[in-house]
Amino acid sequence: MCGVVGIISTQKPVAGELYESLIHLQHRGQDAAGMMTYNKRFHEKKGTGYIRDIFDEQNMARLQGKVGIGHTRYPTVGGFSVEEAQPVMTHVPHGIAMAHNGNLVNYNDLVNEVNEQDHRLINSSVDIEVILHIFAHALDHPKTDIKNLSFFDQICQAVDTVFHRASGAYSVIGTIMNKGMVVFRDPHGIRPLVKGVRQNNDGTTDHIFASETTMFYALGFELDGNVAPGEVIYIEENGTVHSRTLKNEQFTPCIFEYVYFARPDSIQNEISVYRSRLRMGQNLAKRWKEQYPDITPDIVIPAPSTANTAALSFANELGVRFSEGLYKNPFIGRTFIMPGQEIRKKSVRYKLVPQEFEIRDKKVLIVDDSIVRGNTSKEIVRMVREFGATKVFFVSACPPVKFPCFYGVDMPTRGELTAAHRSVSEIEEYMGVDILMYQKIDDLVEAVTRKGEHNIDRPCMACLNGQYITGDVDEHTMERMERQRNHERSKQK
C-alpha cells in the first residue's frame, strides 16, 4: 500500500503543496518517498524514511514547476532502498514520469516482455516502472496512423495497452513533459484514486489527484468525485480536461481500505471511512449480543488508533463505557506496515502502554480493526493481563484474513497469516483471550456499502474469501509470489 498525489496548477509552483499532501499520506507508507516536478526539465528528490527527513529547504527549492507528482512508499514487493522509490521516469518519448498505488499480479511476465519485446530496460523492482515502459512504448509505437489523432487519443491508445497487458491493481498518476498530467485507474478500481478542484481568482482551475481526500481541505480543494475504474484523464498545461472510460469491469474496490489503511476523515468511492467504521462497530456489537447475551464487559477499549471509531460505536451499542485504556506513542509508526515480524513485535510495547486504572480488576473487551499476523494482538492481550484485567475479550472489526493479497497489501504469504491454518478456537488459545470474535463477511460488506452513492458492485475481499477478482491467481501464483517475497526478505537481512 502506498500514497500517491499529483497536482497541476495554472498559477503557481506545486512542490510545497505536494509536500503537504505527502504529510497527509504518510500513514500509507513510511519506507521511502519522492517528488518529481517539471519546468522545462524534470526535477526530482527521493529518499528513505519519513517525509520530514527526506525534504528540506534546499532540495524543495529545486523542485520547480506547476505540474508534479509525489509518492510515499510501503513496499509489498521489491526492496527498501532509495532506488525503489517513486516516481520513476523515462526520457522517450517526450519525457514521462509516473507514480502509482497498487501491485501487479503478472509483474514477472511483464518484465520479460518489456525487456525482450519492447527492448526497454527495467532498472528497479517496482511495478510502476513496468507500467511506465508499457505506456511509453505504446505511445512511441502507435498501432494506427496518428496523423488524424489528437494527443489525448494517442494517450488513450497507450493506456488501453496497459489495461490489456497489466493484471492487478494500479492507480497511476503521470506527467508528460510540456504536455500535462495523465491519470488512470485499473478497470476494477481496486486501489483508490480521488480527484479535487480549486478555482482561482482568474477563472482558471487547479486539479489534484490522490489516494485519499485527507489534504483537500487544508489546500483549498473541493472533492470532485473519483477517477472511475478503467478511466483515463488527461489535463493539458492550460487546464483543458479530457476524460474517457476505456474498459468496463465490475467495480470492486479493496475493502481493507475501509478497515485499516485509509484515514477516518477520508472519503473513498463516495463513502465516508469514518461512518463505515462506526457501522462496523455497530454490526459487531449486535453480533456480540446475539452470541453472548449473558456476558457484558466492564469496559471497551480500542487497539489504537485505527480501531477507535469501531470501538466507540461498539461500546455505545452495548451500553458499556468506552475508554482509551491503551496509550499510543504517536512517534512510533504503524506496526502492520513495518518490514519484518521481529520489528513489529518489538515495536508493539514501545508503541502501546496500558493505563492501569482503566484496566485493573475489570472484564476488558478489546476492539481491533483486524488480526493479520496476530503479533500485535497477542502482545496487547498480554499487556492488558499484566495490568490486572480479570477477563480479556477480543473482537475484530474484520473477518479472518486467510489469503495473501496480490493487489497491494502486505499479506504475501499464508504462513504469516494467523487465520490461514488455524480455527477461531486455536487463534483464541494462541492469543490467550477468554473470547475471540470476528466480524462476519456479510456484516462487513453491509457496513461499508450501507450509505453513499458508491456504485460498488462488490468489494474486493480476496484476502478474506480467496476470490481474486482478476481471475488469474491460482495455487501456482501464490507459491511463486511467496517464494519471491521470502527471497527478497532474505536479501534484506
Binned at pLDDT 50, 70 and 90, residue 269 comes out as very high
Instruction: Please enumerate in sequence order all residues whose Cβ is within 8 A of that of 263, keeping only pairs 6 or more positions apart, or say none.
Output: 24, 27, 212, 214, 273
For residue 313, the one-letter residue type is: S
Mean pLDDT of 134-145: 92
Q: What is the pLDDT of residue 80?
A: 59
Question: pLDDT tens digits for 293-312?
Answer: 999 999 999 999 899 999 99
Residue 360 has pLDDT above 90, yes or no: yes
Binned at pLDDT 50, 70 and 90, residue 330 comes out as confident
Residue 75 has pLDDT above 80, yes or no: no
Question: pLDDT tens digits for 442-478?
Answer: 999 999 999 888 989 999 999 999 999 999 998 888 8
Q: What is the pLDDT of residue 267?
A: 95
Cβ neighbourhood burial of 474 (10 Å; 0-12, 13-18, 19+): exposed
Nearest to 456 by CA among 272, 266, 250, 278: 250
Q: What is the pLDDT of residue 74?
A: 82
Comparing 127 with 341, the larger pLDDT belongs to: 127
Mean pLDDT of 88-99: 96
Q: What is the pLDDT of residue 376?
A: 87
For residue 163, the one-letter residue type is: F
Comparing 189 with 336, the larger pLDDT belongs to: 189
Catalytic: 398?
no
CA angle 33–36–38, rounded 5-degree value: 170
Residue 140 has pLDDT above 60, yes or no: yes
CA angle 33–168–137, rounded 5-degree value: 75
Estimate to the nearest angstrom the gap between the alpha carbon of 379 and the chain centroid: 25
Among 87-101, 112-126, 215-229, 237-251, whose mean pLDDT is lowest?
Answer: 112-126
Question: pLDDT tens digits for 14-52?
Answer: 999 999 999 999 999 999 999 999 998 999 999 999 999
> Considering the domain 273-452 in this protein, what is its CATH number?
3.40.50.2020
Q: What is the pLDDT of residue 491?
A: 63
Binned at pLDDT 50, 70 and 90, residue 432 comes out as very high
On whether the CB atoms of residues 304 and 352 are closer than 8 A, the answer is: yes
3-249 topology per CATH: Glutamine Phosphoribosylpyrophosphate, subunit 1, domain 1 (3.60.20)
Residue 147 has pLDDT above 90, yes or no: no
Q: What is the pLDDT of residue 266?
A: 97
Mean pLDDT of 255-267: 96
H or E element: which one contains 72?
strand 67-73
Q: What is the mean pLDDT of the chain?
A: 92
Question: Any idea what DSSP says for residue 41?
Answer: S
Q: What is the pLDDT of residue 244?
A: 98
Binned at pLDDT 50, 70 and 90, residue 83 comes out as confident
State how far the Cα of 49 lies from the Cα of 29, in Å rounded to an integer.
9
Residue 484 has pLDDT above 90, yes or no: no
Cell numbers of 254, please?
479493496
Percent of the chain with pLDDT over 90: 80
Q: What is the pLDDT of residue 84?
A: 87
Binned at pLDDT 50, 70 and 90, residue 87 comes out as very high
The DSSP-derived string for 386-426 is HTT-SEEEEEESS----S--SSSSS---GGG-TTTS--HHH
The catalytic position among 2, 405, 460, 463 is 2
State how far the Cα of 473 lies from the Cα of 466, in Å rounded to an integer.
9
Question: pLDDT tens digits for 373-407?
Answer: 998 899 999 999 999 999 999 999 999 999 999 99
On whether the CB atoms of residues 192 and 257 are closer than 8 A, the answer is: yes
The domains of the chain are located at 3-249, 273-452
Total residue length of the chain: 493
Comparing 488 with 228, the larger pLDDT belongs to: 228
Residue 481 has pLDDT above 90, yes or no: no
Among 233-237, 282-286, 471-475, whose mean pLDDT is lowest?
Answer: 471-475
